[in-house]
Structure 1
C-alpha cells in the first residue's frame, strides 16, 4: 500500500501559517497599544480641567500640579520682585519633612513670623486707590454694615490680594495675614487661627491655610491658584473666608467671616490688594434650626429600640456659602454614657432632606428610664470638621416635645410613633 505524502506536507505547513498569523497579531497589538498611549498623553497635555489649583506656601508648592510651563505659577517675576522690594528680607528655612500634623513649620527664628515687623515695613501696602475704585458698593455694604454690638466687638482685619493670569486662565488668591483677632482660649488668652476659603456659589472647592499656633496676628502668606476659570466667569463668583481657631479636644471655634463678591472688581490691571473687616458669622443663624421627623418603636419582648429618621425641613444655611449638605447622626445613651451611634447618608444641597433610614439599637436594660436618644443634624464639609446645624434629644428627662414623644413610646410599646420636632442649637 503506497504512503500518503500529501497529508504530511499539509501538516508541515500549518505551524508556519500559525507563526505568521501570530507575528502579525503581535505587531498589530503593540502598534494599537502605542497609539492609545500617544492619544492619552496628547489629550492630557491639551486639556485643562476646571478648578485645578496649586497651593503655594511662601514660594513652596504644597500641592504641585503637572503644568505645561517649567516653573510653577505663583506670580510673575515682576510682581515677585516688587513684593520682595516692599517686604523686608526675613530669613526663612522651610523643610517640608519637618512639618507637624497641622502643617506648621518649626520656629527656627522667632522674628520670622512676627506680624509687627511686617506691619512696620508695609504701612501703606494695603491702602491703594485702585481698591476703592474697583470694589462695588454692594461688597462695601456687606463688610461695613455692622450692628452696634458688632462694632463694639472687633473681630480683626483680613489682608489678601487677588490676581488673574490671562495667559493661563488662572485666578490667584493670596491670603496674606490677619490682625487683631480675638483670643478664643481663655486660659492662654491667644488663638490658633487658620482660614477656610470657598468659591461661591458652586462650593466646588473648599481650601484652607495651615494652623498658626498662639497668635492673634497670624501671617499666612499662602497662595491658592485656580486654573480653568474664564475671566468673564470671575464676575459671577464670590469668595467666602471663614476665620477659625483650632481646638484639639473639641469643635473648632469660629471667629468670624468675610464675604467678597467679585462682581465689579477689575483684575485686568494686575494684582489688587485689599483689606476686609472680619464680621460675626451669620447673625441670622439663630432664628431657626429647622425641623426633624423621626419615628421610634420600643420592642419590650426583644428589648430593642427601632429608630427611623424620616425627613428634615426648613434647615438653615450653614453659612453664606449656600445650601447645606445635611445628614443625621443618632447617638444612644445609657445613664449619660454613649453606648451606640449610627448615621444616615448625606443629602446634597437641600434644606428639605428625605432620609427614610432605619436603625435598630439593643437596649442593655429592661426599661427605658435611663435611655435617651440624641439626633444631631450636621452639614457635611469635605476636608474640615462638620458643623452642627441642630440638635434633638428624646428621653425621660428631655424637655418639650422630646419628653412627650418619649413618654408615648414607653406607654405604647410595639407601636411605631412618628412626630415632627423643632431642632435646637447644637
Structure 2
C-alpha cells in the first residue's frame, strides 16, 4: 500500500514557508552577523495542530476508537477503527478524502503527532490502524489526547472535519470497558483556544536601530537593527526531561536561510540566560514599516525540536509592502517596543514580553 499520509509538519527549515519571498525591498538581501557560532541544522516541528482550514465545512458525524497503555512495551496505543457520516468536502459528489490525526497535548511537535492513511472518496472511512506513542505512563497522565479528522484534497490542502479530546489525567486506566471501542461525536475546533491560554513564559530583550553604522565605504544609506536576547523567564516544561532551549530569529519578509540566526542552547533550566546579540543590516528607513522581527523559542532534543513560544515585533499592520500577510500580527506590547526603537535611534530599548503561540502559514509554491 502506498503511503498517502498527509504531510503538514512544520520543521524549522520550513517554518518560514507561506510568507512572501519577493518584495521591492533591500530586506531581500539582508546580511546578518552574530558574536556566536550558530547551532548546527536540526529538524524540528511545531504547531501543525493549528494549520489547515477551520470552519469551512460542516462538523458532523462520529469516530470510533479505543485507547490503552501497554505496560510491557511502555507504549500508549490509539486504535482508530472508523468514522461515519462525515461532512462532504466535495458537496457535488458527496464525498471526502478523510484521515485521522492525533496529538498528545501540550506536546504539539513531531514527537506528539501521529496520522492514519488517507481514505479516498468516502464519508464512512474504515482505518483499523494503531497509532503508537513511546511514553512512560506517568508522563502520559499529564497529557491530553487530541484526535481530529481532516479532508485532504489533491493539492494536499487540509480541511477540518471535527475533533475529540480526552483528558488522560482523569482517565480510568484500570476500567476494562475503557479499553473497548467506543463511538464519539465529532466536535468543533476547541484545542487551539485552550492552548492559546497557556502560560508560555516571557522573554527579556532589547532592540536598537542604528540608522548610519560606521563604515569606510560610501554606500547608499542603510541602517542596522540590533536584537539583544537577554533571557527567558518561566518557560513551559512540556516534556519529561530537562529543557534545553534556544532562540531563533528571522527578519520577515526575508525567509532565506541567511536571515536566520540562533542562540546557543541552554540546558536544565526554565529560566535560560542567553545574552546573545544579533545584527541585521540593509534597513532603509522605509523598511522599518514593512519588516517584522520574529523570535521563536525551542526546546532542543536529538530527534526533534519542541516549539515553546514566540514573538513578532513590528507595526502589526497586517501588510508588508502593500501585500496582506498573516505574520504581521504583532500584539500591542510588541508594537510598542518596535515603535520606541524606531523613535529612539542609537538607543537600546528594553522590555519583557510574554511569549505566545504563532500561527503558521500553509505552504505555498
- TM-score w.r.t. length of structure 1: 0.46
Deviation for aligned residue 1:195:
1.4
Q: How does 1:32-181 map to 2 (within 5 A)?
A: 94=1, 98-100=2-4, 102=6, 154=59, 156-162=61-67, 172-181=77-86
The whole-number CA distance in structure 2 between the counterparts of 1:254 and 1:349 is 40
What is aligned with 2:280? 361
Deviation at 1:174, TM superposition (A): 1.8
Q: Is it true that 1:266 corresponds to 2:174 in the alignment? A: yes
Q: Within 2, Cα distance between the matches of 1:180 and 1:378?
A: 41
1:391 is displaced (CA, Å) by: 4.0
Q: Quick check: 1:220 aligned with 2:88?
A: no
Counterpart of 1:342 (choices 261, 264, 289) is: 261
Q: Find the counterpart in structure 1 of residue 50 from structure 2.
A: none
Assess, with a 3 A threshold, how the Cα gap between structure 1 residues 266 and 367 changes in structure 2: closer, same or farther. Answer: closer
Deviation at 1:356, TM superposition (A): 3.8
**1:283-294 matches, cutoff 5 A:** 283-287=193-197, 291-294=202-205
Q: 1:195: which partner in 2?
A: 101
Distance 1:266 1:200 in 2: 24
Deviation digits for residues 337-385 of structure 1, max 9, x if unmatched? 5562334567789876654433221225366544522325466699899
1:408 lines up with 2:340 in the alignment: yes
Structure 1 position 156, deviation (Å): 4.6
Task: State the superposition RMSD in angstroms.
Answer: 5.4
Q: Relative contact order (C-alpha < 8 Å, sep 6+): which is higher? A: 2
The answer to whether the 8 Å contact 1:295/1:309 transfers is: yes
Relative to its length, the structure with more helix (as a share) is: 1
User: In terms of Rg, which structure is larger?
Assistant: 1
Cross-structure match for 2:208: 297
CA apart distance, 1:297: 1.9
CA contact (8 A) 1:164 1:268 kept: no
Are the equivalent residues in 1 in contact too, given 2:172–2:178 (CA < 8 A)?
no
1:217 Cα shift?
Answer: 4.0
> Structure 1 residues 422, 254: closer, same or farther in 2, change over 3 A?
farther
Q: After superposition, what is the alpha-carbon deviation per residue over 1:21-66, rounded to whole angstroms, capped at 9, x for unaligned?
A: xxxxxxxxxxxxxxxxxxxxxxxxxxxxxxxxxxxxxxxxxxxxxx
Is the 1:170–1:228 Cα contact (8 Å) retained in structure 2?
yes
User: How far is 1:257 from its partner?
Assistant: 4.0
Tell me, in whole angstroms, the C-alpha distance in 1 between the residues paired with 2:243 and 2:351: 23
Unaligned segments of structure 1, at least 5 residues: 1-93, 104-152
SS at match of 1:393: strand
> Does the 8 Å contact 1:162/1:267 carry over to 2?
no
Contact map agreement 1:329 1:341 (CA 8 A) in 2: yes
Q: Which runs of 5+ in 2 are unaligned?
A: 8-57, 215-222, 318-329, 359-365
Map of 1:276 onto structure 2: 184
CA offset at residue 278 of structure 1? 4.2
- The Cα of 1:306 is off from its aligned counterpart by 1.5
